[in-house]
Amino acid sequence: MDWIPQIFRRRKLYEDLSEEIRLHIEERTEQLMCEGMSAEEAARAARRAFGNRMLLEERSREVWQWPTLESIWADVRFALRQLRKSPGFTITAVLTLTLAIGANAVVFGVLNALILRPLNVPQAESLFVVQHGSDVGSHSYPDYLDLRQRNRSFDDVAAWAISQAGLDTGKDPSNVWEYETSGNYFDVLRIQPYLGRFFHASDEHGPNSAPFVVLSYAYWHNHFQDDRTMVGRVVRLNRHPFTILGVAPPGFQGTVLFFASDIFVPIVNHEQLSGDKTILNARGIRWMFEMVGRLKPGVTPAQATADLNSVDSYLKKSYPKEESNDPYTLARPGLHGDYLNGPTRAFLTGLMLLSGLILLAACANLGSLFAARAADRSREVALRLALGSSRNRILRQLFTESVLLSLAGGVAGLIASILLLRRLSVWQPFPRFPLHVPVSPDANVYLVALVLALVSGVLFGIIPVRQILRANPYEIVKAGSTGAFGRRITVRDVLLVVQIAICAVLVTSSMVAVRGLMRSMHSNFGFEPQNAMLVDTDLTAAGYSGERVPAMQRRMIDAIQAIPGVDSVGSVNYPPLEPPGTWQGIVYTDTTTDLSPSKAAADPNMFNISPDYFRASGTSLLAGRAFSWHDDTNAPRVAVVNREFASKVLGSVPDAVGRYFKLQDGTRVRVVGLVEDGKYVNLTEGQKPAMFFPLLQSPASWIWLVVRSSRDPQQLAAAMRSVLRDIDPGMVLAIRPWSTELAGTLFPSRMATVSLGVLGIMGAMLSITGIFGMAAYSVSKRLKELGIRVALGAQRKEVLQAALGRAFKLLAIGSAAGLVLGILAGRVLASIVYQATPRDPVVLIGVVLAMAALGLLATWIPAQRALSVNPLILLRED
Amino acid sequence: MTETNSRDLFPGALEMMILESLRREPAHGYALVQHIQQRSNNLLQVEEGSLYPALQRLLKAKLVKAEWKLSSTNRRVRTYQITAAGLRRLEQQISSFERMFEGISLVLNPGKVTTS
C-alpha cells in the first residue's frame, strides 16, 4: 500500500528532484570554471554534459507514475483545454448528446419498467396470465373455479376483477379502487404482508363469507398516515362492515403494472360490494379481469396451454351455450396479457428504434463536426506528427475528446431522464382513475445510458480517424489541407437531407398540434366548464334504491342551491366528455310504425337531467322551455333535444318544439325545448344528435351534480361537502372543478402535442448541428479557395454562395420534402388533436420561417468565417 | 552518443554500479558520476543526467535512501545511502553478473576456462 502516501508525497518528490538536478549542473559549472572556463562556457558545457534536462527529469518522474493512467489524465486535461477553446462546438455537442442519450434513457426506462422488469413478486418467471382467445382477460367465476380444479399444470390459479366502492372509516367516506380477488391471490403471488395478515382460500366459505380488506401500502400511507392500529379495525365498504386484515408490501400495487389499486377484497363478497346476487354463478358473464397461475416446476407453457384447452373442451361439452370457441393461451403478467403487452411492446420497440436512430443521427452529425475540427486542426496534427508524436497518440487524444463529450452528454441526459421518469412515475393523467406508470429508473437504465454514451463517443470519434491516419504531414504543412473537399453526393448528405425532412415533419406536426390544441381549448363544447364544479356520487353504493333515489337527488340539489354564492345547481346521470363515454339509445320519427333497429332515425346521446341542468352547465336554450319538477312520472313524457337531433329526427330546427318522436319501446315523447349542439364523447367528433330527459321520468342512481358559482372552488367544495354530509354522512363524494375533470378528455391531444413538441425540438437541434457541421466542414476545407476568390475580387454574396450553397441546397430539399410529409402527417394528427388542420396558413408560414431560422442559425458561424477570409493571411501562412 | 548508459551494457548495470559506489560511501548524484567515471578509467561514459532516473528507481524500490545534507565543501546536496535491501540486491546482482560474465567468456574464448 506504498502508493497511497506516494500520491501525497509526489509533489515533494518532484521538487526535490528538480532542485537536485539544478544543484548538480551548478556544481559541474563551478568545477569547469575552476578548470579555467568562462562562466558562460562552463554553464553551456555543464548543460551539454547533463543532456536533455527536461527529458531526463520527465523520465525520472515517470518512475513514480502509473504511466498509462497519468498519460490518460494528461490527455483528459489537454482535451478539456481544447474543448474550452471552442465553447460553441462543445455546447452544441453536449446538448445534442444530452437530448439523444436522454431520449434513449427515457424510452429504455419505460421499456425496462413495463416489459423487461418482471412483476415485483417472488419467482415471477413461473407466473402466467391465462387468456381466453380474443376475450382477453375476461372470465366468468364458474369457469375460473373449473379451470382451477381441473388443470394439472399449475400449482394454483388466482383470479381478480377491478371495481370501485365507497370506503367509510367513520369520517369522510371516499371512493376507493379495489381488486376483488380470489382467496388464494396473495398465496399464488407468494408475497408477504407488510403488516397484519392476508386473506387466504381457507377464509372463503361461500358468498359474502369473507368480509376482509387488505390495504395497499400507498393507500395506508396516504390515507391512514402509517397508523398501525388500523389493522383489525372494522370499516364499511358500500355500507357493509369489513375488517382490515393487513397492509400489502410497499412495492406491490396489484398484478397490472399501471393500475394501482387502493384495497384488496375477497371476490366471494362481490354481492355485498355490487348488489348483484347472480353474477358469481353466471357461467356466461365474463366479468373478471384476469386469471394468474403459477406453473408447476418442470411444466412448460406449451404443456400448460394444452392442459387448459383440454379442460376447456370438457367445459364446452358440458355447457355448449355458454362457452366461447376461443382457445386458452398464456401470456406474461404485468400488462394485462397480450392485450396490452403486444401493443405496448410494439410501440416501445418502435420508440426505442426511433430514439436509437436519433442517437445515430446525432453521432453522424457530431462525426461531421469532429471531421471539420480535425480538418481545422490538420496543421497542428501535422506538426505533431512531424515532431515525432505517434499517430496512436494523436488518435487517443481525439478519442479522449469525443469520449469526454459523450460522457458529459450522457451524464446530463441521464439526469434529465431520471427527472422525467420520476415525474412520469408520480403522474396521474386521469384524476378519477388510479392509472400511473411505475417507471422509476434503476441500475439497468444507468448502465444503458453509460454504454450509449461510450458507444456514441467512439462512434463519432471514429469518423475523423481515417482522415488522421491518411494524413501526410509534409503535404498538409505544404498545402494547408488534407485534400480536396468532395463535390459528389455522400451518404452524409443523404442522411442530412433525411434528417432535415424528419425535422420539418416534426416541426409541422407539432405546430399543427399546438394550433389545434389552442383552438380546442377555446372552442364551444355546448357547455361552459369555467366556474362550474362537479360532484360525483353513486347512490346505490350509498344504499339508496327505488323511489328514494330521485327524492335524495332533489334534497341534494336543494341543499346546495341554498349555499350562498351558488348561482344554479343541476344534475346529470353522466356529464358530456367524461371518459369512457355516455349512454345512447335509438329513436324513431313519430310516423315510424316498424320499430326494428334498422328503421331507427338516429342513435342519439342520452342524458337524464334535473330541471336546472342547462343553466348550471351553461348550455344555451335556443327555443321552448327547460324541465321543471312537474315533469314527473304523472306528466306526459317530454324531452329537450339539440339542433342536430331536430334536423335529423324531427326534420326542422325552427319548428322542433312541440313535435314528437318515439323511443324503442314505442313511447311517444314530446319535444319541449331546443338547445345548442355540443361535444358529448370526444372533442374530435362531428355534430351529433342528443336528447335530454327529465330526471323524475327516467331516474338514474349514479348522478353528477353540476354547480355553477363564481366562488373560490376550494371554499365552495368545502361548503358543498358539509351540506351533503348533513344529509347523509355515509355518502361517497368526489368534488372537482369541471375544467380539471376535462383534463382527461384533452389528455390525448395534450400528450400528442407535448411529445411532438419534444420530438420537434430534438429534430431541430439535430438539424442545426447537422447543417452546422456540414457548413463548418465545407468552409474550413475550402478556406484557401475562398481566399483566392476574395483575392480575385469576389463579392460577399459570391463567397457565401460558394461556401454555403451546398448546405442551403440540402436544407431546402429536406425542408420541402418534410413540409409535404408534415402536411400528410397533419391529417393523421387531425384525428387525435381536435381542430388540427395542416392547411392553416399560420402553420405553413410558421414551418417555412422555422426552417429558415434553423438554417440561418446553423450557418451563421461558418458564414462569418467564410466572409472574414483574409487572402493575405492565408497566403502568408503558406 | 547520447544514450551511453547502462542499458547499452545490460539492464541494471548502472544501478549495480551506483549501489556498489554507495556501498563504499554515501554520495550525492554529482559525486557518483565522478566516482563511476574515475573507477572505470573513463571507459564508461555515463551521461550525467541518466543517473537520475536510475536513482529514482532505486529510491522507489527502497534499495537506497536519500536525505538533504551539507557536503564537505559546505554545499547543500542530496546524499544517497545504500539500505540493507540494497546490499542484498547488490550481492545478488554481482553474483549473477559474474555468472553471465563467465558464460560470455566461455563462449568468446572456448580454450580458456576462467573461474571466479
pLDDT in tens, A609-632: 999 999 999 999 999 999 999 998
- Residues contacting residue A72 through CB under 8 Å, at least 6 positions apart: A400
pLDDT beyond 70 at A482: no
What beta strand segments (E) does A210-295 contain?
Answer: 212-215, 234-237, 240-247, 263-266, 290-295
The proportion of chain A whose per-residue pLDDT surpasses 90, expressed as a percent, equals 25
Kindly report, residue by residue over A242-291, the tens digit of the pLDDT: 999 999 998 788 888 778 889 999 999 988 887 777 788 888 777 888 88
Name the grid cell of A421: 421518469
Q: What is the mean pLDDT of residues A428-439?
A: 72
pLDDT band at B6 (very low <50, low <70, confident <90, very high): very low
Three-state SS at B44: coil
pLDDT score for B3 = 38
- Residue B29 in contact with partner chain A when CB distance is under 8 A: yes
Could you give the CA distance from residue A331 to residue A134 in angstroms, rounded to a whole number? Answer: 13
In this structure, the strands spanning A532-538 and A734-737 are antiparallel
Name the average pLDDT for chain A. 83
Q: Where is pLDDT greater, at A753 or A878?
A: A753
CB count in 10 Å sphere of residue A710: 10
Helix-helix angle A391-426:A338-376, to 10 degrees: 150
What beta strand segments (E) does B18-57 contain?
Answer: 27-28
Could you give the CA distance from residue A267 to residue A208 in angstroms, rounded to a whole number? Answer: 9
Which of A16, A28, A51 faces B47 most closely, judged by CB atoms? A51
For residue A308, CA distances in Å to A294, A303, A316, B21 come to 13, 9, 12, 92
pLDDT score for B9 = 61
What residue has cell string 450553397?
A805
Kindly report, residue by residue over A158-209, the tens digit of the pLDDT: 999 888 888 888 877 788 889 999 999 999 999 999 999 999 999 989 888 9
Could you give the CA distance from residue A329 to residue A133 in angstroms, rounded to a whole number? Answer: 7
pLDDT score for B113 = 54
Measured between beta carbons, the chain B residues lying within 8 angstroms of A56 are 49-50, 52-53
pLDDT beyond 70 at A435: yes
Measured between beta carbons, the chain A residues lying within 8 angstroms of B66 are 16
Could you give the CA distance from residue B100 to residue A45 in angstroms, rounded to a whole number? Answer: 37
What residue has cell string 540486491?
B89
pLDDT beyond 70 at A821: yes
Kindly report, residue by residue over B32-89, the tens digit of the pLDDT: 988 888 888 877 767 788 889 899 999 989 999 999 988 887 888 999 999 999 999 9
Optimal mutation site among B36, B48, B78, interface A, most CBs of chain A within 10 A: B48
Could you give the CA distance from residue A709 to residue A40 in angstroms, rounded to a whole number? Answer: 101
pLDDT beyond 70 at B98: yes
Shortest CA distance from A55: residue in chain B: B49
pLDDT band at A516 (very low <50, low <70, confident <90, very high): confident
Kindly report, residue by residue over A833-876, the tens digit of the pLDDT: 666 676 777 777 888 888 888 888 888 877 887 778 777 776 66
Helix-helix angle A841-867:A738-781, to 10 degrees: 30
Q: Do A16 and B78 touch (CB under 8 A)?
A: yes
Optimal mutation site among B1, B52, B60, B71, interface A, most CBs of chain A within 10 A: B52
Chain centre to alpha carbon of residue B33: 10
- Residue B75 in contact with partner chain A when CB distance is under 8 A: yes
pLDDT band at A69 (very low <50, low <70, confident <90, very high): confident
- The angle at the Cα of A593, spanning A588 to A596, to the nearest 5 degrees, equals 65
pLDDT beyond 60 at A94: yes
Could you give the CA distance from residue A160 to residue A289 in angstroms, rounded to a whole number? Answer: 6
Could you give the CA distance from residue A386 to residue A474 in angstroms, rounded to a whole number? Answer: 8
Minimum distance, in Å, between the CA of residue A58 and any CA atom of chain B = 9
- Residues contacting residue A351 through CB under 8 Å, at least 6 positions apart: A107, A110, A111
Name the grid cell of A466: 481515417
Q: Where is pLDDT greater, at B71 or A7?
A: B71
In this structure, the strands spanning A605-609 and A690-694 are parallel
Q: Where is pLDDT greater, at A681 or A68?
A: A681
Could you give the CA distance from residue A400 to residue A392 in angstroms, rounded to a whole number? Answer: 12
Which of A23, A53, A57 faces B77 most closely, judged by CB atoms? A23
Q: What is the mean pLDDT of residues A93-117?
A: 84
Could you give the CA distance from residue B70 to residue B76 in angstroms, rounded to a whole number? Answer: 5
Kindly report, residue by residue over A383-422, the tens digit of the pLDDT: 777 776 777 777 888 888 888 999 999 999 999 989 988 8
pLDDT beyond 70 at A484: no
Helix-helix angle A338-376:A443-462, to 10 degrees: 40
Shortest CA distance from A31: residue in chain B: B30
Q: Do A64 and B56 touch (CB under 8 A)?
A: yes
Measured between beta carbons, the chain B residues lying within 8 angstroms of A21 are 29, 49, 52
Could you give the CA distance from residue A96 to residue A765 in angstroms, rounded to a whole number? Answer: 7
pLDDT score for A691 = 95
Could you give the CA distance from residue A388 to residue A436 in angstroms, rounded to a whole number? Answer: 61
Q: Do A17 and B56 touch (CB under 8 A)?
A: yes
- Residue A15 in contact with partner chain B when CB distance is under 8 A: no
Kindly report, residue by residue over A739-795, the tens digit of the pLDDT: 888 876 777 667 767 777 777 777 777 777 777 877 777 777 777 777 888 888 878
pLDDT band at A485 (very low <50, low <70, confident <90, very high): very low
Name the average pLDDT for chain B. 83
Which of A21, A27, A28 faces B52 most closely, judged by CB atoms? A21
